[in-house]
């Protein structure tokens, strides 16, 4: 191996390039830009401004963040619902005034003040909500009008009450604590805001009301069609916005104890800047508490620091405006290009070198070419689409899955008539009968299911344990592929890959990354666990006759492996075959004690070479349309028989794939071999010369029927 190739191999082994694409699939990746902007701002202003990190300035900053953050949060909630709330600043100032009237003028007890203030915020929000949500007025104009109205009310009340407010003095320890107090060194108001933020984070990201809110903002009509009460959701978004603003107003009043004619002027622009800067989409449907908090801190940091540095007010406002413009621009570009970027970088091929393929034309080769599968009997021609696996029961009935999500049963012994045995959805793939005669099916995109003889469908499992270091959530089963059942009832099944859906299996071939796994489901404990991670496309599974191990196919390395789940070699994996001329799919038992294996496609020298050049494949994935990509040659059908020492005994071919291209499974039953293919429209039936005419897989596994 050349030195440069060794370098390539090491690079692709240790540099986790695929993580970039996986990170981009995460929703929180939007936060990266504001997060780094925040870090940069802290570093810049921290060095420019003396005493930036002193306890007193941090505490003061914390209290401001609490008040401003709540306003931004309220605005963000409305924005997520697809609207906008310009009246946040007016509701805030009105709340400040009402709080001060309560404390300084009327001398109400503090809890009453809180209650009245919150009620005021809720009412103001409800007015907005009713107008925008139920009467369906334009959010921008409506809240612009309420902004003016609430502000005017403030101005009128402030004129008549300002003297009384200034002359009065609240005598409440509670109020003082709320305004100035600390808990463990943290300003109390910051603590309150933090708790509110955490609750909202949970609501928005983990709970139904939050998801509905985002759904309404993302696609109003779809949300309506999905049965979400759109108007009510919008209404409550404004109510919550008003409430959060009034909390901010109360905290402000408690801290300063006074208000002025310019309190809250221009605050809506700052809040809007903060919300957008944090990454909340103006169009709705995309946003989070983290974004609101980051935006709020960033804007507050900017304005406070500029004031500290002696920049005049109008210039600060101008800078803020420019920042808002920039944030809107970046938001738009990001939204537009994110998916394109993801599509470009997600496919991340790995380095893979395969041993030389056996020469199928060599004299005496067990792979000797023939056309034995060319002219086989055909079952269900045109009636079924995509029988990935086939299986037969003791009564000679033939079962197969179809891409329409059905399991079709052809009645024995002639298989002329058929019925839909069960409709499950997804694409049923590997199948096996358990001891009780239930049909267990791996379903691409869904998981492991069971169909009882009386046709009832039960979901057995659709998730496994999440691995610690995975970026994508690998607990859900994406592509459960094939299964087999141990004598004690444990089900071992393969998940081909966690990075792609079933339709994109060939893209996984292009990547050839260890992203498949072998999973065990224990029906006694209803427990699912990943037994063998990091398989390069885990495919067919077949129990060995020792009852302690099974064989499984690792497709893209052209290998068959054996895993012991019991006995003295428990937990060990051994490679049985590693140089197949094609990519192995399902493995099943043969009547003579050996095993059948389907090769879903054949290796080609051009693709083998490309496997050693990940950069070539990555560029191909970016530059060339997917239907022009290099694929395994699946237009040939091949089934081989091998023994548990890994020796190939014989091969059956359909060269050119006239009847059976891409054979993905085969099942021996009473002297015949039945052939399935994931993209074929038929099942084949080949008479095996000399095979036991009474052998049935179900009996071989579980003994004769009782």
State the residues that interact with other proteins by CB under 8 A.
Answer: 385, 506, 582, 602-607, 609-610, 613, 616, 619-620, 622-636, 655-657, 659, 661-662, 679-682
Q: Whole-angstrom Cα distance, residue 250 to residue 175?
A: 10
Question: For residues 233 and 636, which CB has a smaller minimum distance to other proteins in the complex?
Answer: 636
Residue 646 Cβ vs other proteins, minimum distance, rounded to whole Å: 22
Question: For residues 317 and 633, which CB has a smaller minimum distance to other proteins in the complex?
Answer: 633
Question: For residues 525 and 623, which CB has a smaller minimum distance to other proteins in the complex?
Answer: 623
Residue 580 Cβ vs other proteins, minimum distance, rounded to whole Å: 13
- Give the chain's radius of gyration (CA, Å): 34
Question: For residues 287 and 632, which CB has a smaller minimum distance to other proteins in the complex?
Answer: 632
Residue 401 Cβ vs other proteins, minimum distance, rounded to whole Å: 15
65-99 burial: b if 16+ Cβ within 10 Å, else e: bbbbbbbbbbbbbbbbbbbbbbbbbbbbbbbbbbb
Closest by CA to 481, choosing from 384, 383, 552, 422, is 552
Question: For residues 27 and 623, which CB has a smaller minimum distance to other proteins in the complex?
Answer: 623
DSSP three-state, residue 528: strand
* Burial tier of 55 (Cβ tally within 10 Å: 0-12, 13-18, 19+): exposed
Question: For residues 63 and 603, which CB has a smaller minimum distance to other proteins in the complex?
Answer: 603
Looking at 35-92, which runs of residues are DSSP E strands? none
Overall size of the chain counted in residues: 706
Cα 329 to Cα 76, 325, 449, 531: the distances in Å are 18, 6, 48, 48
Closest by CA to 351, choosing from 531, 618, 52, is 618
Structure tokens at 196: 């509110």
Cα 166 to Cα 240, 258, 417, 489, 501: the distances in Å are 31, 7, 92, 80, 67
321 beta partners: none
Question: For residues 528 and 555, which CB has a smaller minimum distance to other proteins in the complex?
Answer: 555
Residue 631 Cβ vs other proteins, minimum distance, rounded to whole Å: 5
Residue 205 Cβ vs other proteins, minimum distance, rounded to whole Å: 36
Closest by CA to 81, choosing from 147, 143, 145, is 143
Q: Whole-angstrom Cα distance, residue 253 to residue 262?
A: 14
Residue 609 Cβ vs other proteins, minimum distance, rounded to whole Å: 6
Closest by CA to 671, choosing from 645, 649, 690, is 690
Residue 349 Cβ vs other proteins, minimum distance, rounded to whole Å: 13
Determine contact, residues 451/457, Cβ cutoff 8 Å.
Answer: yes
Positive or negative: CA dihedral 354, 360, 366, 369? positive
Q: Whole-angstrom Cα distance, residue 434 to residue 491?
A: 9
**Structural element, H or E, at residue 327:** helix 313-346
Cα 45 to Cα 51, 52, 68, 294, 554: the distances in Å are 11, 8, 19, 16, 55
Question: For residues 59 and 506, which CB has a smaller minimum distance to other proteins in the complex?
Answer: 506
Residue 677 Cβ vs other proteins, minimum distance, rounded to whole Å: 8
Residue 382 Cβ vs other proteins, minimum distance, rounded to whole Å: 9
Residue with tokens 């009453």: 112
Residue 420 Cβ vs other proteins, minimum distance, rounded to whole Å: 19
Residue 512 Cβ vs other proteins, minimum distance, rounded to whole Å: 16
Question: For residues 24 and 79, which CB has a smaller minimum distance to other proteins in the complex?
Answer: 24
Structure tokens at 201: 């984070």
Question: For residues 629 and 695, which CB has a smaller minimum distance to other proteins in the complex?
Answer: 629
Q: Whole-angstrom Cα distance, residue 426 to residue 271?
A: 46
Residue 626 Cβ vs other proteins, minimum distance, rounded to whole Å: 5
Question: For residues 278 and 349, which CB has a smaller minimum distance to other proteins in the complex?
Answer: 349
Residue 654 Cβ vs other proteins, minimum distance, rounded to whole Å: 10
CA 135 to chain centre: 37
Closest by CA to 316, choosing from 324, 308, 307, 325, is 307
Question: For residues 201 and 374, which CB has a smaller minimum distance to other proteins in the complex?
Answer: 374
Residue with tokens 């049985």: 576
Question: For residues 368 and 624, which CB has a smaller minimum distance to other proteins in the complex?
Answer: 624
């Amino acid at each position: 191996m050349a030195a440069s190739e060794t370098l390539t191999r090491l690079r692709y082994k240790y540099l986790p390039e695929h993580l970039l694409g996986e990170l981009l699939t995460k929703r929180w990746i939007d936060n990266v830009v504001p997060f780094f902007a925040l870090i940069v701002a802290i570093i810049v202003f921290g060095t420019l401004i003396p005493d930036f990190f002193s306890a007193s300035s941090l505490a003061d900053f914390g209290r401001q963040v609490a008040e401003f953050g709540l306003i931004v949060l309220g605005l963000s909630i409305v924005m997520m619902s697809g609207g906008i709330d310009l009246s946040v600043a007016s509701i805030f100032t009105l709340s400040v005034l009402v709080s001060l009237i309560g404390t300084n003028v009327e001398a109400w007890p503090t809890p009453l003040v809180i209650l009245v203030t919150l009620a005021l915020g809720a009412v103001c929000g409800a007015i907005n909500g009713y107008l925008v949500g139920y009467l369906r007025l334009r959010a921008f104009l409506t809240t612009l009008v309420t902004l003016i109205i609430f502000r005017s009310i403030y101005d009128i009340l402030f004129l008549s009450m300002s003297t009384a407010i200034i002359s009065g003095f609240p005598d409440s320890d509670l109020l003082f604590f709320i305004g100035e107090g600390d808990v463990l060194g943290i300003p109390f108001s910051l603590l309150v805001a933090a708790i509110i933020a955490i609750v909202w984070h949970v609501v928005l990201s983990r709970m139904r009301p939050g998801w509905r809110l985002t759904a309404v903002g993302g696609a109003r009509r779809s949300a309506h069609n999905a049965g979400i009460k759109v108007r009510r959701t919008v209404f409550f978004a404004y109510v919550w916005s008003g409430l959060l603003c009034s909390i901010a107003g109360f905290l402000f009043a408690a801290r300063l104890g006074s208000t002025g004619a310019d309190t809250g002027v221009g605050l809506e622009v700052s809040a809007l800047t903060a919300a957008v800067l944090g990454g909340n989409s103006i169009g709705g449907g995309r946003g989070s508490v983290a974004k609101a908090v980051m935006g709020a801190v960033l804007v507050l940091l900017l304005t406070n620091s500029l004031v500290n540095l002696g920049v005049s007010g109008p210039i600060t406002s101008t800078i803020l405006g420019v920042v808002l413009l920039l944030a809107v621009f970046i938001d738009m570009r990001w939204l537009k290009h994110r998916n394109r970027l993801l599509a470009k970088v997600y496919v991340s091929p790995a380095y893979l070198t395969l041993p030389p393929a056996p020469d199928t034309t060599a004299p005496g080769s067990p792979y000797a070419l023939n056309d034995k599968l060319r002219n086989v009997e055909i079952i269900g021609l045109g009636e079924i689409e995509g029988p990935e696996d086939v299986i037969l029961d003791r009564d000679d009935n033939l079962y197969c899955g179809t891409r329409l999500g059905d399991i079709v049963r052809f009645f024995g012994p002639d298989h002329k008539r058929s019925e839909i045995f069960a409709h499950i959805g997804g694409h049923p793939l590997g199948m096996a009968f358990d001891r009780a005669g239930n049909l267990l099916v791996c379903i691409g995109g869904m998981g492991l299911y069971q169909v009882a003889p009386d046709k009832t469908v039960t979901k057995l499992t659709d998730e496994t344990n999440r691995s610690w270091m995975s970026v994508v959530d690998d607990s859900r089963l994406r592509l459960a592929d094939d299964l087999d059942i141990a004598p004690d009832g444990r089900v071992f099944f393969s998940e081909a890959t966690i990075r792609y859906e079933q339709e994109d299996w060939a893209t996984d071939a292009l990547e050839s990354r260890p992203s498949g796994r072998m999973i065990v489901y224990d029906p006694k404990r209803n427990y699912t666990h990943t037994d063998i991670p990091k398989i390069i496309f885990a495919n067919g599974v077949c129990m060995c006759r020792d009852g302690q191990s099974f064989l499984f196919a690792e497709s893209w390395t052209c290998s068959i492996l054996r895993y012991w789940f019991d006995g003295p070699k428990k937990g060990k994996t051994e490679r049985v075959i590693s140089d197949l001329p094609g990519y192995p799919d399902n493995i099943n038992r043969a009547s003579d004690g050996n095993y059948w294996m389907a090769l879903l496609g054949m290796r080609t020298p051009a693709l083998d070479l490309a496997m050693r050049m990940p950069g070539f494949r990555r560029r191909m994935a970016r530059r060339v349309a997917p239907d022009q990509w290099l694929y395994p040659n699946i237009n040939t059908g091949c089934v081989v028989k091998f023994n548990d020492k890994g020796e190939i005994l014989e091969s059956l071919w359909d060269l050119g794939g006239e009847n059976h291209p891409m054979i993905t499974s085969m099942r021996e039953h009473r002297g015949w071999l039945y052939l399935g293919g994931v993209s074929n429209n038929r099942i084949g039936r080949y008479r095996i010369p000399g095979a036991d005419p009474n052998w049935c897989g179900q009996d071989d596994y579980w003994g004769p029927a009782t």
